Amino acid sequence: MENRMQERLQQKPVVLALSAFACLLWGSAFPFLKISYELINLPPDDWGAKVLFAGYRFFLAALLLILVATTVFRLNLRVPKSLLPWTFLLGLLQTALQYFFFYNGLAYSTGIKSSIIGATGSLFVVVLSHMYYKNDTLTSQKVFGLLVGFVGVMVANVSKGALDLSISFLGEGFLLISSFVGR
């Protein structure tokens, strides 16, 4: 049964459909959050409420993921006790910090600028990976590819006159910190 499920999940149409669905969900995060902030009257300076809102979203997402993983895929999700401190530390340092800066930065920035800055996460991975892996060098071709990709993200997200060039530490600065910490 498990083998058949694994084979099914690796078929190209299934991979394509699941990838498209994941992109749809991730791409909808920026507008969903901006609209949610307005609907529940969350002021930009109420950092605690935004972190609480993030906590609700992630708690519900975790419950859903656990439910699907254990019932549909029948996965054993037990974590060895020796890994619990490291799992907690990773969650605290990466996830909590990333989303603290993301949710609060989004409140002080536009959705377009947030989307563009969110694309810098890939840039950080490519730039920093050569520091961790000796066989991964930062070549001029990679730098060119990063620049072309980043410009492409900007062009795809900017409609005529929709991007102003103002920046703030609480908006774009927090979003950059979020992208860096999340990688």
Alpha carbon distance 92, 97 (integer Å): 7
pLDDT at residue 7, rounded to an integer: 83
Amino acid identity for residue 137 in this structure: T
Percentage of the residues of the chain whose pLDDT score is greater than 70: 93
pLDDT at residue 169, rounded to an integer: 93
> Please, what is the Cα angle at 41 between 36 and 47, to 5 degrees?
85
C-alpha pair distances (Å), 102 with each of 82, 117, 173: 30, 10, 10
Number of domains the chain contains? 1
Alpha carbon distance 74, 42 (integer Å): 39
pLDDT at residue 156, rounded to an integer: 64
29-70 residue pLDDT tens: 888 888 999 999 998 889 899 889 988 988 998 899 999 889
Q: What per-residue string of b and e applies to 139-151 under the rule 16 or more CB within 10 Å gives b?
A: eeeeeeebeeeee
Name the maximum alpha-carbon separation found in the chain.
Answer: 55
Alpha carbon distance 60, 15 (integer Å): 25
DSSP codes joined into one string, 120-145: HHHHHHHHHHHHH-TT----HHHHHH
Nearest to 163 by CA among 107, 119, 115: 115
Q: How many CA atoms lie within 13 A of 134 on its CB side?
A: 0
Domain that holds residue 156: 2-181
Is the pLDDT at 18 greater than 70? The verdict is yes
